[in-house]
Amino acid sequence: MTKRKYQICTKCVMDTTDTKITFDEKGVCDHCNTFFKDIKPNWHPDDKGWQEIVSISDKIKEEGKDKDFDCIIGMSGGIDSSYLLYLAVKKLGLRPLVFHVDAGWNSEKAVHNIEVIVDKLELDLYTEVIDWEEMKDLQLAYFKSGVSTIDTPQDHSFFATMYKFATKYDVKYILTGGNYSTECIRNPLEWMYYQSDSIQLKDIHSKFGTKPLKNYPVTNILWHKVWLPYVKKIKLIRPLDFMPYDKEEATQFLVDEFGYQRYAQKHFESRFTKFYEAYWLPEKFGYDTRKVQYSSLILTGQMTREESLERLKTPAFDKESIKQDFEYIATKLGISVEELQSYLDAPNKTYKDYKNQMSIYDIGAKVLRILGVEKGGKR
């Protein structure tokens, strides 16, 4: 089979390392076109949007007025969730419980940032610590499987835990920092398959894991896309979509007002995710998630294509520290550097090589798009 000729979008910086990408006659990719066609017309980061979120907040406050807190906000220590907390408390007058999932990979910066935000806003923090021995085993299983989505154990545990918590304490509103402004283009499925697919998680675990998953929280797509919203009536809200959200402005604001410390790149709150996105994905698979992030910022006018191309010329990982990072990852996983290297060198696999619920996701996505509940979405 002939290898596809390299092509890069003329508008953003997505290219044929996303092997499913298509281009129109102007050389504009399908990610951009989906944004223009499906997302932009239905996205109102303006007065209209603001009125809407104020109205939603009023409802949240009313329903939660006799409780200790009226909503939950998931906090990773990253910019989006940190800014969201400020917004929720200071601008929308909400009383959130701050929820943090510790999967064992917190960077010191993340811990610092969570502390300064929670302290200054005088909020209550709740942390769920994932059983490290089980997490370690599951992460190692993912390395052995050869798939690209090796951050699934962390991501899956994040929302599984949060949803379980919401159900347990009967909290009806979960606010997340997810937003179109910096995430209107999503990682292609080929790069990052659905982390919520529990069939795949269990299959990879059964083939390569050595410890039973007793404490590790497993969720599944039907539970949190159907049961929780439609039966338990737990709503997921993304407030940052209802107003203009400029990443650099938000970051500088957090730095000035809270003593927030910047990360080198999105998702670098977690030492593992930093290693995964900056090194493992590009080196093993040729997937550079910065292309996705920068492309989103290009489409929303926060970065120019030229600046993006310039930044992409240098690798995402820091050449000086990568050796130590590699060693740290190996040590923490309880394996040698050589063993970790062997996983890096092993043949690449895809999600199709293991059991998966892709068919359910396909149906679900179509249904939700038809119902207008979701715009865009992963492909």
State the residues that interact with other proteins by CB under 8 A.
100, 102, 104-108, 111-112, 114-115, 118, 124-127, 129-133, 136, 271, 320, 323-324, 328, 331-332
Run of H or E including 115 = helix 108-120
Minimum CB–partner distance for residue 224 and other proteins (Å): 23
Minimum CB–partner distance for residue 331 and other proteins (Å): 6
Nearer to other proteins, 79 or 135 (CB): 135
From 177, 109, 100, 103, select the one nearest 142 (Cα to Cα): 103
Nearer to other proteins, 82 or 106 (CB): 106
Nearer to other proteins, 111 or 346 (CB): 111
In angstroms, the CA 342 to CA 262 distance is 33
And the tokens for 126?
Answer: 């709740």
Nearer to other proteins, 114 or 162 (CB): 114
Minimum CB–partner distance for residue 194 and other proteins (Å): 26
Minimum CB–partner distance for residue 202 and other proteins (Å): 23
Nearer to other proteins, 115 or 246 (CB): 115
Minimum CB–partner distance for residue 270 and other proteins (Å): 10
Minimum CB–partner distance for residue 97 and other proteins (Å): 8
Radius of gyration of the chain (CA): 20
In angstroms, the CA 8 to CA 15 distance is 4
Nearer to other proteins, 129 or 226 (CB): 129
Residue 272 identity: F
Minimum CB–partner distance for residue 251 and other proteins (Å): 21
In angstroms, the CA 317 to CA 282 distance is 10
- Per DSSP, which regions of the chain are E strands? 71-74, 96-102, 124-129, 173-175, 235-237
The partner residues of 117 in beta bridges, in order of sequence, read: none
Q: 343 and 329 in contact (C-beta within 8 Å)?
A: no
Nearer to other proteins, 119 or 362 (CB): 119
Nearer to other proteins, 59 or 332 (CB): 332
From 245, 198, 261, select the one nearest 225 (Cα to Cα): 198
Q: 143 and 343 in contact (C-beta within 8 Å)?
A: yes
Q: 18 and 190 in contact (C-beta within 8 Å)?
A: yes
Nearer to other proteins, 126 or 227 (CB): 126
Handedness of CA 106, 107, 108, 110 (dihedral sign): negative
How many residues can be counted in the chain?
Answer: 379
Other CB atoms closer than 10 Å to residue 102's CB: what's the count?
A: 18
Residue 97 identity: L
SS (H, E, C) 141-172: HHHHHCCCCCCHHHHHHHHHHHHHHHHHCCCC
Minimum CB–partner distance for residue 191 and other proteins (Å): 26
Minimum CB–partner distance for residue 201 and other proteins (Å): 20
